[in-house]
Structure 1
Amino acid sequence: MSGATTAMKAAFIAIAFGLLAFIAVGLFWFFIGPASPVGFGWYLFAFAAGLTMIVLPCTLPLAFVIVPLSLGKGPVKGLGIALAFGIGVALTLSAYGIVAALVGEVAIGTLGAPLEVVKNWLYFVAGAFAYLFALGEIGLIRFRMPSYTGAAPAIIQKQGDYLKALLLGLFLGNVGVGCPHPATPVILTRIAASGDMFYGWTLFLTHAVGRIIPLLLLAVLAILGVNALSWLVARKDRIERATGWGMAFVAAFILVLGLFTHDWWVNSGQHTLLEEITQEEYFLDIIGARIGTGNVHRHGPEDGVGLFGQPLGWGNWALVFLWVLPIWWYYFKKRRELIGTPVPPPAPQ
């Protein structure tokens, strides 16, 4: 092996470890970091949420595009093609941030709809959609997101390698947008509330970068001769089921949060518990004293009503029901399958 080849391989190994480090730190922050990001924390949240999208069955198919594109063309050109594809995906996804900001500006600014009402409806609809999607992943209902599996348009296929990869990324960037990841409505709500198109574009662009980094890692590993895609494919069913169970619990919470509003969350005790853990009021008191505003963010018992006027007290029961339902349903489904399975005859002696 020549010195240049060895140096090239070492560089790609370093790139792979760098991407892996980004993914590890991002996932650690996503699951351990604050539940209510502020300021620059929204960019960290959006980036980390994008990293987790790779396990969704309507995002994983992009790996079957980027890996073949980057193989058989030399390491440097293969990486360049993978980057071009990733840039195309990121540009398409970032456009949704602009759309969300425009919708927020119209709904809140022009039509005068209260931000809390818009936010609650978005949480309710997205949570219900995500819950149905999760039940489909577990195998309890037939509910699958459509994904594009056909050939690219002829005008794309006729282009050069780099331009073809970029156009494919732009064309396929919509794949996975409709996947009901629990973080997506949170990010879109934040963008809509701002009504700022540049902020919406940059925040969702950051989210898109998080989405493509795992895809780039798979491409780099493939260039190095490591077929990580086969590992994912071999465990695809288990990954989908694990994702489905996790999403069922998170989606149920988002659905109930939209249906019974933030007032229910405060009354439920969960919000207060998180504030005790993070010592939110203590730190906000210090900050408020320094800038002379005091701590205006305090919570007490709320006496509002839900999205449709229902009592807030129903919220805890609704959440428990939505959490228990898939467990009960799955248990009886598997039990019925076992009862209906014929017992094989004993082997002849």
Structure 2
Amino acid sequence: MATARTFNLELDDVLDRLRSAAAELERAGDPEEIAETAAELLLALTRSSEAVIVLGTRFFSRAAATSLQLDDDAVAEVLAAARGRTGRATQVELHAGGEVIGTMAVARATEYTGSDRQAMAIFASNVAAALDSAEKLRSAERVERAHELAVQVLLAVSSQPVSGQNLSDFYRQLAETFGEFVGADKVVFWRLRDDGKLAPIQGGFGVDRAFLSKLKPTRCEPDGDDLASRVVYQDLIFRANAGEPPEFGYVLETLGVSNAISVAWRAGDERLGLIAAYDSRRPTGFSREDTWVLQKAALAAGLVTE
């Protein structure tokens, strides 16, 4: 009887902590806020000294003693201990849409019980669902804003000169606008030259001389089976994120970027080149919706030459 009563008390305590954590999590908004909140809630839920949440290449952490983020070394120690299954550290994956979207890990001085691990697993499903919903909402908002982008491009085309010394500035402003809508650190226009080669246009967004030096003119032909030819002439929508097995993964390595998307740039039936975005600001990289946004923007940008 005493054992059963003790178990029930422990179970009630765990359920109370779970309900409290779930209620607090619902107040968080965007994915970053959800991850930050979840890291803090993990400390109380599992009575841990340290908590880490991994989303792509980003880390969200919290230390119970200081209520501050952990430094890189401390984060690495928690993750290593959790993978090593020491008993004083544990981790659980975050699943959404049939995919692993991240990991949660905690550590403390005493060993974790089965109830602790079960509570963490249940909370992980709440965190994953919250992150998934927030990302879908953000995607829907970006699609809606993509329609606004088309209008902005049209306004830019009508108000900016497309010849002479202001041409580079025009493309730079256009690239910056595209970068904001797809969440990219870098955007480059690649123009198809008369000699059949594809070359970057001066005036990209977020690019310096070191990065531009990696962008070499490349052969681009209607019947070519290389990446550039397929994007420009066959309307291939290219998307590659680090950690995935893309067909053209060498592109990321050559350019030294984490991820990339590119779409055809055209004016009606005339093939102008392609537009590429590199290094997504989101931990999960570029999404399919990002490629749609960039494609819509590229079609509007094609009016520059009409």
Instruction: State TM-score, norm by structure 2.
Output: 0.25
- Give the structure with the larger helix fraction: 1
